[in-house]
Amino acid sequence: MQITVEDTRKLIYVYVRKFNGKIVSTFPDVKCRIYYDETDNWIGLEIINEFVDGEKFKLPPIKNTMINLSCEKIKEDNDNIFLIFNSEKRVNHCLEESCNLDFNDEGFFGVELILDHPIGELEVIKSLLKR
């Protein structure tokens, strides 16, 4: 997993796996929650199987063989995909946002966040930042 964060810290992309050359499709305006610890470090992301307008959809599957498990934990159920960057940190608060969810016939590819405000501190994800 790699994460890119633009200088403004408002445009973020989380790559769950490497691009395999196959066309990527996007579910736009998907509900998500960004999780923070007590010092405002970004510690996780929850992607919800619902568009901002309330319409439900089926989340693309996570193929474990495709994932670089440098992320602490990736899990899914019928309604959510969770990306947990540090399970030892406790969630202090979360912000509800929207994201763009990318996928192809291999399953979940990545997620793009376009925020109105800068993401919190990046200390927890420092090892995942794409250089």
**Neighbouring-strand partners of residue 102:** 26, 110
**The predicted structure's pLDDT at residue 2:** 86
The pLDDT of residue 106: 86
Query: In the chain, what are the domain boundaries?
Result: 2-128
Read off the pLDDT of residues 24-78 as tens digits, 9 standing for 90 and up: 999 999 999 999 999 999 999 999 999 999 999 999 988 754 455 555 678 888 8
Token pair of 73 as six digits: 């934990």
pLDDT tens digits for range 78-119: 899 999 988 889 999 999 999 999 999 888 999 999 999 999
Beta bridge partners of residue 104, listed in sequence order: 107
